[in-house]
Structure 1
Amino acid sequence: MSRLPVIVAQGGISSAGRTSGFYGYRRLVIDKLGRADRVETLEALASLFEGDPEAGEQSILANSLIRRLDNQSFNSDAIYYHHPVTLQQDSEIVLAGRRLPDPLPEGWEIKHRENGRVTIGISANQPLMLPSSRPSPVNAAGQLPTGFKPEKLYQSRHHPKALAMTVFGASDAIGSSGLDWSLLKKRLSPEQIAVYAGSAMSQLDYNGNGGMLQARLLGKRVTSKQCPLGFAEMSADFINAYILGSLGTTGTSMGACATLLYNLQQGVADIRSGKHRLVVVGNSEAPITPEIIDGYATMGALASDQALRALDQLGSESCPDWRKACRPFGNNCGFTLAESAQYFVLMDDELALECGAEILGAVGDVFINADGYKKSISAPGAGNYLTVARAAALGRAIAGEEALRFESFVQAHGTGTPQNRVTESHILDEVARVFGIKNWPVSAVKSYVGHSLGAAAGDQLMSTLGVWRYGLIPGINTIDGLADDVHANQLNILLSHLQIDPADMNLALVNSKGFGGNNATALMLSPQLTEKMLKAKHGSRTMMQWQQEREKTLVVQGDYLDRCRQEIPDPIYQFGSGVLSEQDLEMDHQRITVPGYGKPVDLELDNPFWKF
């Protein structure tokens, strides 16, 4: 019997705000919340940028979700670039003598020196690059809440933004768990813990790979940190080294926009097999840079200002509706880049019950399929039909035919591109047809937070867990109707929030379609269904003991979330403390004992293969 991977904590940051406490989810449906939940959500948002929730509710709301670039990182009205020109032969230029290149370029001749200045004669045409600027064609983005700077919360030492977001997001997940992690480690051995996290596009701002590639072209020096901190798996490395102090399995599995589900699949497989008992899964992406905007805009993939104006029939001088830039399944023109860091703590069911963890839901499995032969590496293919159908089939196997047909919904990839609205709607419609599902609810969270690339499925998962807590499936509020080419015979693509009873919505499919043919679909199980499954497996007595232990967890958790509404708790960042050396390990031929862990690393291994 497989162990069930149970989600016991979530944390992170997106354009919707903090993930823990369901605050990020609540921002999506704030117009339908009761007064108490609405006030708490505003307080949590305001705390991120030291705003006053009483002073300006509209200002707080305006500084979150998709909106116009607010120029915190760069000026989108004047993006720096080099403009090529040619200096004609027989020209002269005057330079400061100390700025002369050495050696002199071919065709340069020093003609005169005076007062530290040098006159240079140019005997041949000389190409030059002049500093210039241009406005960005794309100005809509799902930025972190305005004024929130994760790198200011700890001694970041020039960390790339995605890594600073990792420190905040993973700390948020740990803090919101309500668990004492030093006691938790006493139940485990080092190799029973794993961390799978990364950034699909690596760290491309100036403190990472972006700066390493730019520095010399900008007349600057490459730093000693840009190359090592630019690695794509560095998020996992930071969690191990500075947050958990973990010696367990580590790494990231990359699959373009499906990357978080690829990491989730690794964690789920490890827990089900018994290889690991506790896994932290997540991704952090900070792709709002001029270069990445250039890349996707050149592909024609982003919702540009010009295209948005054309959609809404606005004049060339009018401001487009940046708030509604992402329009999944409607008449649309491209996706909207976003920043996000999403982290989830998974345990096997036995460990979750033993330590009194809160149960937010469970993962049935994650299905991954490539597209096979393709006409174009960027074009969608057949693989996503397989992943969605397999996830639906597992939902049927676990919960039954009726549950799949009447108690399930879909978190669509829903990018907001013309191609996605056709291909993904057809996939979902066909799967619904073959499984006898009618009026299948479909949500698309990117319409609120944008497309955070490798972390995007984390935004969808955050929303899914919120649905099971608050009973509201977020509708797509950026469109008035479906595009004519959308397939929706069996679907209920939500144009407004759908109120449901969480007890009657036990399954969710989280779908991702990645560039290059990286398709993944996760089957998520509601906390209500999860608890029913655990009761059947472990019995009523064990579940009562878990509920008693959970009460302690909920108290600690509540204290943490109350603080989050008043301030930003310091992230966990243990730089240089608790470092182990070989003298700290006790090792013989049977085991390795590591300080802080209750169980040793077992060296008495069985031969996993046949005898010979």
Structure 2
Amino acid sequence: MNRRVVITGIGVVAPGGTGAKKFWDLISAGRTATRRITFFDPAPFRSQVAAECDFDPRDEGLSPQQIRRTDRSAQLALVSARECVEDSGLDLAALDPARTGAVVGSAVGCTMGLEEEYVVVSDGGRTWQVSEEYAVPHLFNYYVPSSLAAEVAWDVGAEGPVATVSTGCTSGLDSVGQAVELIAEGSADVMVAGAADAPISPITMACFDAIKATTPRNDDPSTASRPFDRTRNGFVLGEGSAMFVLEDLDHALRRGAYVYAEIAGFASRCNAFHMTGLRPDGKEMAEAIRVALARSGTAPEDIDYINAHGSGTLQNDRHETAAFKRSLGAHAYRTPVSSIKSMIGHSLGAIGSLEIAACALAMRNGMVPPTANLHTPDPDCDLDYVPLVARERRVDTVLSVGSGFGGFQSAMILRRPEGKPA
């Protein structure tokens, strides 16, 4: 069995606003949602900027019990999952729960809850031997990343395949890729899938400071994220979630659902090279792109838009520029490319799903979102990166890529469902 899988519902919580509409309004307008950190005093840190969500779980309809037992990352996932189900028009009660599943990606799990509780049980770090009697009763849930997928599954009544995928910064692509495979092979009919991360905490900032991955450009936070620009000097940490309703195409058509896009191909590779370093030739990402194209029956010339990883680090932007040239050949120079991280930061495991949402909305709206803050192109990044202003363009087939610590490289092909079968 090899069923075609489509997106019929989108839910988003992102910097700049909750909901897919606010998300699209922000990125299509080229506005940035990066600012000085407000969650804690960032003064001791090298990088003091982030892309925070203005998010109150009470205003978004979560119950006091849900708020008490869940980390912020799970709350983001729950709210975006509810939106995608509502957007899809699915009647959850009419579904076979054993044929409905959930996959949630996350790079760092319940970081905020874990750090907050460590501060409590260690008396602000003064006690080496901590006392669990001061911890909240749900601390175990913070330790176990599978709690993210469990919360979403409970909320939507999914009793089929349920999993958490944690592959660093490609988690948001890989979680959707796994859900697609479960439907394609016949293990499920409907999947709620995506990713969430809420990593803006002192421990995360300290870790990225140590390896100088995040930008020290603190004087003007709105322009701190500069993918493909010659003056870029690191990424801006972000947070958020995007979740999708994925269905077998026949299932979606039978119920008259609106179809955003078909997920036609997916592939993941690892460079087996370095925990944080990348080879400049982009070979492993190019291989993931090549396999995704082959699995979808897509030629390089069919790609209308590339949603880049575009983190804004020196090596990443050159690495994937080389990968696009290596995998698409001369067509790479004719294809618009952009990075939405320039506007909403890098939310680690969540960003891949947020980028899938951007791709699906670009297809629906006939517009390629821009790369904000791209004023001085890097000569080594010599493709069409759609600087500053969105571009009207019919988009039928999209390539979205991700690159993560550990050497992970993932690629996904989305296209209009009237295209040829995978």
TM-score if structure 2 supplies the norm length? 0.90
Asked if the contact 2:374–2:388 (Cα under 8 Å) also holds between the matched residues in 1, the reply is: no
Of the candidates 371, 376, 384, which is equivalent to residue 492 of structure 1? 384
- 1:40-439, aligned counterparts within 5 Å? 65-69=33-37, 71=38, 73-77=39-43, 135-145=44-54, 148-151=55-58, 153=61, 154-155=63-64, 156-183=67-94, 185=95, 188=96, 190-205=97-112, 207-208=113-114, 210-212=116-118, 215-218=121-124, 221-241=134-154, 243-304=155-216, 308=217, 320-330=219-229, 331-372=231-272, 374=273, 376-381=274-279, 382-394=283-295, 397-398=297-298, 401=299, 404-405=300-301, 407-433=303-329, 436-439=331-334
The residue type equivalent to 2:324 in the other structure is L
The residue type equivalent to 1:361 in the other structure is A
The residue type equivalent to 2:144 in the other structure is F
Match of 1:451 in 2: 346
Displacement of 1:337: 0.5
- 1:499-518, aligned counterparts within 5 Å? 499-502=391-394, 505-518=395-408
Distance 1:406 1:143 in 2: 36
Displacement of 1:223: 2.4
Per-residue CA deviations over 1:24-71 (Å, capped at 9, x if unaligned) read 11211237xxxxxxxxxxxxxxxxxxxxxxxxxxxxx7xx711222x2
Match of 1:23 in 2: 22
Q: Secondary structure at the match of 1:150?
A: coil
The residue type equivalent to 1:327 in the other structure is R
Displacement of 1:233: 2.0
Per-residue CA deviations over 1:452-478 (Å, capped at 9, x if unaligned) read 000111121111112112222112121
Displacement of 1:75: 2.6
Displacement of 1:215: 2.1
Asked if the contact 2:149–2:163 (Cα under 8 Å) also holds between the matched residues in 1, the reply is: yes
The residue type equivalent to 2:135 in the other structure is V
Q: Secondary structure at the match of 2:238?
A: coil
Displacement of 1:407: 4.7
The count of aligned residue pairs is 407
Distance 1:275 1:160 in 2: 30
Distance 1:262 1:532 in 2: 23
Asked if the contact 1:475–1:497 (Cα under 8 Å) also holds between the matched residues in 2, the reply is: yes
Distance 2:105 2:409 in 1: 18
Displacement of 1:439: 1.6
The residue type equivalent to 1:524 in the other structure is L
Displacement of 1:286: 0.4
Q: 1:532 to 1:379 in 2, by over 3 A?
A: closer
Distance 1:227 1:213 in 2: 16
Distance 1:432 1:378 in 2: 25
Match of 1:13 in 2: 13
Match of 1:553 in 2: none
Distance 2:228 2:13 in 1: 26
TM-score if structure 1 supplies the norm length? 0.63
Distance 1:236 1:303 in 2: 32
Displacement of 1:178: 2.3
Distance 2:161 2:28 in 1: 37
Q: 1:500 to 1:462 in 2, by over 3 A?
A: same
Higher relative contact order (CA 8 A, sep 6+): 2
Asked if the contact 2:29–2:390 (Cα under 8 Å) also holds between the matched residues in 1, the reply is: no
Distance 1:28 1:229 in 2: 32
Asked if the contact 1:196–1:267 (Cα under 8 Å) also holds between the matched residues in 2, the reply is: yes
Q: Does 1:460 align with 2:361?
A: no
Q: Secondary structure at the match of 1:429?
A: helix
Distance 1:362 1:196 in 2: 18
Q: 1:158 to 1:459 in 2, by over 3 A?
A: same
Distance 2:391 2:304 in 1: 14
Per-residue CA deviations over 1:391-420 (Å, capped at 9, x if unaligned) read 23445x24xx4xx42652110000011111
The residue type equivalent to 2:17 in the other structure is G
Per-residue CA deviations over 1:488-523 (Å, capped at 9, x if unaligned) read 2xx312113353342xx2111110001011111011
Match of 1:479 in 2: 374
Displacement of 1:266: 1.0
Displacement of 1:149: 1.3
Distance 2:411 2:420 in 1: 22
The residue type equivalent to 1:387 in the other structure is A
**Radius of gyration: which is bigger?**
1
Distance 1:324 1:211 in 2: 34
Asked if the contact 1:203–1:210 (Cα under 8 Å) also holds between the matched residues in 2, the reply is: no
- 1:545-556, aligned counterparts within 5 Å? none
Asked if the contact 1:442–1:493 (Cα under 8 Å) also holds between the matched residues in 2, the reply is: yes
Distance 2:384 2:419 in 1: 28
Distance 2:278 2:120 in 1: 33
Q: 1:407 to 1:284 in 2, by over 3 A?
A: closer
Q: Secondary structure at the match of 2:168?
A: coil
Distance 1:436 1:222 in 2: 56
What stretches of structure 1 of length at least 5 have no aligned partner? 32-60, 78-134, 309-318, 538-612
Distance 2:338 2:227 in 1: 9
Distance 1:160 1:197 in 2: 14
Distance 1:426 1:182 in 2: 48
Displacement of 1:264: 1.2
Q: Secondary structure at the match of 1:29?
A: helix
Displacement of 1:261: 1.3
Asked if the contact 2:5–2:249 (Cα under 8 Å) also holds between the matched residues in 1, the reply is: yes
Asked if the contact 1:151–1:165 (Cα under 8 Å) also holds between the matched residues in 2, the reply is: no
Match of 1:58 in 2: none
The residue type equivalent to 2:310 in the other structure is G
Q: Percent identity?
A: 22
